Structure 1
Amino acid sequence: MTPFEWILAVCIAIMTACLVSGLVLVLRTSDVLTKAVLSDLVFYTMIAIFLTWTLTNPTSIGYEVALLAAIAGGVLPTLSMARIISKGRR
């Protein structure tokens, strides 16, 4: 393994630890707003892990997945978070 791959492996390990801690907090909390924020954390962390993995493992669809995740991950969670905060009111 090259030094760059070691650095990426450490980064993926740190992101995985953050992902697991977010999932534990989702299971332990009863607040709906906290669960909504943590679900965004889990989603974005999974995208970050995938994109970090694609730096050393070239795939033909890696950047299309990133583009789709940016569109779906940027718009939809913002709308759902607004609905949760306002409790469904417009």
Structure 2
Amino acid sequence: MARGQDIQIPLVVGSILNLINQGEVLWGAAELFIPHVLLNYPVPFAVSLFSAMQARAQSRPVSTTVRTADVRPVVSARNPGRRTTD
């Protein structure tokens, strides 16, 4: 996600939440409650940031170590002195 989108999402979502939560203020039926207005912006930002971090963590490989087959010398049943690799 681009840096500009990191800020745009909370601004859009926060503004929509303010319209929903403080809509009565627009019609003059209630007074503006500043703490609610201010909390409507960091909450979507935190959710967006958490989601981006989760997506990034899930897209990374767990391990970059290449596993190789366990190759040990095998003693032949016919000839105990002869060693081969399978």
User: Could you tell me the TM-score, scaled by structure 2's length?
Assistant: 0.36
Q: Per residue, is there more helix in 1 or in 2?
A: 1
Asked which structure has the greater CA Rg, the reply is 2
Higher relative contact order (CA 8 A, sep 6+): 1
Q: Per residue, is there more strand in 1 or in 2?
A: 2
User: Could you tell me the TM-score, scaled by structure 1's length?
Assistant: 0.35
